[in-house]
């Protein structure tokens, strides 16, 4: 069977970041694990940040991250591109430069042609090359369900690390990509339709967040994170919680992947969206007139999603303009940061 004849969606029920363990379950597991603090460890597991950061010297820190998942689309090469983009994204969310990557591969070698594996790896390798990093090896095991991703090493100046826990009151929040990739992919699986929205989702997921890094550093943004498996609201929640603030989200300002609103209207809501909603619901206040479809799309698990950026209000409009010029055409201001409001971490209007 050639790579042109197979459909990777036939090999998994949950693909991409939708396959992540529920944030509630994950937090229960992690709180029982010991945390060893070292002065060189500038960012570690004590926070819910995008990657770990280790200080080497006064000029250099290493960013370390990893991500992998089952197929989320039909084509092996595209799957490799998306998985690599997603893994690289954590380095960019922290303002860093990716320098090296290692392949993480699980593949059913007795069920699928090695041509399929070659196409997946080629997709990943091409995306790593676009990132300006070096693909230096990896590890493979035989597994019934194909999975692919990267372990990524990046570098950054210790004084220029952008954390997800340093948003400031008065900041504006910018989102760089449209949301709804999880719903778009689920629609392709359930309804077997691969229209404009599906292809828009694939293009969005293949787009590196690399080109936003220099702009984040230029405008000295206060905080950032990438939107992945916990959805827009889940990652906004982590930013607000870590920063000790409340975040207001203006739902009408959020750009959506084409067609996903109608898919949700037809009942196409992936299970991850409900898990993500459960995670943040008690700490959030939703406008009583909030559209249900939009609410669920804000909880939709994204794969290789955009960046959520918290920046000084006076820089927000200029940053949005430059992000759009850099190719992030859906960039827009979607909210703001205020002082902590009682027990509410998120306010969704």
pLDDT confidence of residue 15: 62
Q: Is 39 exposed, middle or buried (0-12, 13-18, 19+ CB in 10 A)?
A: exposed
Q: How far is CA 211 from CA 33, 215, 217, in A?
A: 36, 8, 11
Per-residue pLDDT tens over the stretch 181-197? 999 999 988 876 677 88
**Confidence at 2, pLDDT banded by 50, 70, 90:** very low
Using 50, 70 and 90 to split pLDDT, how confident is the model at 74? Answer: confident
Within 13 Å and on the Cβ side, how many CA atoms surround 171? Answer: 26
Catalytic residue numbers, as ranges? 17
pLDDT band at 154 (very low <50, low <70, confident <90, very high): very high
Q: What gap in Å lies between CA 349 and CA 344, rounded to an integer? A: 13
User: pLDDT grade, residue 33 (50/70/90)?
Assistant: confident
Q: What confidence tens digit (pLDDT) does each residue in 261-319 have? A: 999 999 999 999 999 999 999 999 999 999 999 999 999 999 999 999 999 999 999 99
pTM over 0.85: yes
In this model, does residue 34 exceed pLDDT 90? no
Q: Which of 256, 112, 125 lies closest to 183 in space, CA to CA?
A: 256
The residue behind tokens 């007139």 is 289
Tell me the mean pLDDT in the region 133-141.
96
Lowest-pLDDT choice from 32-46, 79-93, 130-144, 208-222: 32-46
Domains belonging to the chain, first-starting first, are 8-160 (3.30.1330.10), 172-348 (3.90.650.10)
At 10, the pLDDT band (50, 70, 90 cuts) reads confident
- pLDDT tens-digit readout, 204-243: 999 999 999 999 999 999 999 999 999 999 999 999 999 9
Is the distance from CB of 128 to CB of 85 less than 8 angstroms? no
Q: Which of 18-22, 221-225, 334-338 has the lowest average pLDDT?
A: 18-22
What's the mean pLDDT in 326-336?
97
Q: Pull the structure tokens for residue 131.
A: 């990132």
Q: What pLDDT, on a 0 to 100 scale, did the predictor assign at position 29?
A: 73
Q: What is the residue-averaged pLDDT of the chain? A: 91
Mean pLDDT of 90-119: 95
pLDDT band at 329 (very low <50, low <70, confident <90, very high): very high
pLDDT of amino acid 6: 74
What is the distance between the terminal CA atoms of the chain, rounded to a whole angstrom? Answer: 50
pLDDT of residue 1: 41
The predicted pLDDT at position 19 comes to: 66
Q: Write down the pLDDT at residue 149.
A: 97
pLDDT value, residue 190: 81
Q: Which of 28-32, 73-77, 253-257 has the lowest mean pLDDT?
A: 28-32
Q: Percent of the chain, pLDDT > 70?
A: 93
Task: Report the pLDDT value the prediction gives residue 4, as an integer from 0 to 100.
Answer: 53
CA 49/CA 301 separation, integer angstroms: 17
| Contact between 181 and 201 (Cβ < 8 Å) | yes
Q: Give one DSSP letter per residue of 9-21, joined into a string.
A: GGG-SS-GGGGSP
């Amino acid at each position: 069977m050639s790579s042109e004849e197979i459909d990777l969606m036939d090999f998994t029920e949950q693909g991409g970041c939708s396959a992540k363990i529920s944030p509630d379950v994950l937090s229960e597991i992690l709180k029982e694990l010991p945390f060893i603090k070292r002065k060189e460890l500038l960012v570690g597991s004590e926070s819910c940040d995008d990657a770990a950061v280790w200080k080497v010297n006064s000029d250099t820190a290493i960013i370390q991250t990893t991500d992998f998942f089952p197929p989320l689309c039909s084509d092996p090469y595209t799957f490799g591109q998306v998985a690599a983009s997603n893994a690289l994204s954590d380095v960019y969310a922290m303002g860093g430069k990716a320098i090296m990557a290692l392949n993480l591969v699980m593949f059913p070698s007795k069920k699928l042609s090695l041509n399929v594996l070659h196409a997946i790896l080629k997709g990943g390798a091409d995306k790593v090359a676009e990132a300006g990093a070096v693909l230096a090896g990896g590890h493979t095991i035989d597994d019934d369900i194909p999975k692919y991703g990267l372990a990524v090493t990046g570098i950054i100046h210790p004084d220029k690390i952008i954390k997800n826990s340093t948003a400031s009151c008065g900041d504006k929040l910018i989102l760089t990509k449209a949301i709804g990739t999880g719903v778009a992919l689920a629609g392709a699986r359930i309804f077997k339709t691969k229209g404009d929205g599906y292809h828009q989702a694939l293009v969005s997921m293949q787009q590196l967040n690399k080109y936003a890094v220099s702009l984040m550093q230029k405008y000295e943004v206060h905080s950032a994170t990438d939107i992945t498996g916990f959805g827009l609201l889940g990652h906004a929640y982590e930013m607000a919680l870590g920063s000790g603030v409340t975040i207001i989200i203006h739902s009408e300002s959020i750009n959506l992947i084409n067609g996903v609103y109608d898919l949700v209207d037809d009942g196409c809501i992936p299970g991850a969206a409900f898990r993500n909603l459960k995670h943040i619901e008690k700490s959030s206040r939703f406008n009583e007139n909030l559209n249900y479809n939009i609410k669920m799309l804000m909880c939709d698990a994204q794969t290789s999603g955009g960046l959520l950026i918290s920046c000084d209000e006076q820089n927000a409009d200029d940053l949005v303009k430059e992000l759009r010029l850099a190719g992030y055409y859906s960039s827009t201001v979607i909210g703001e940061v205020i002082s902590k409001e009682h027990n509410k971490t998120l306010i969704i209007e």
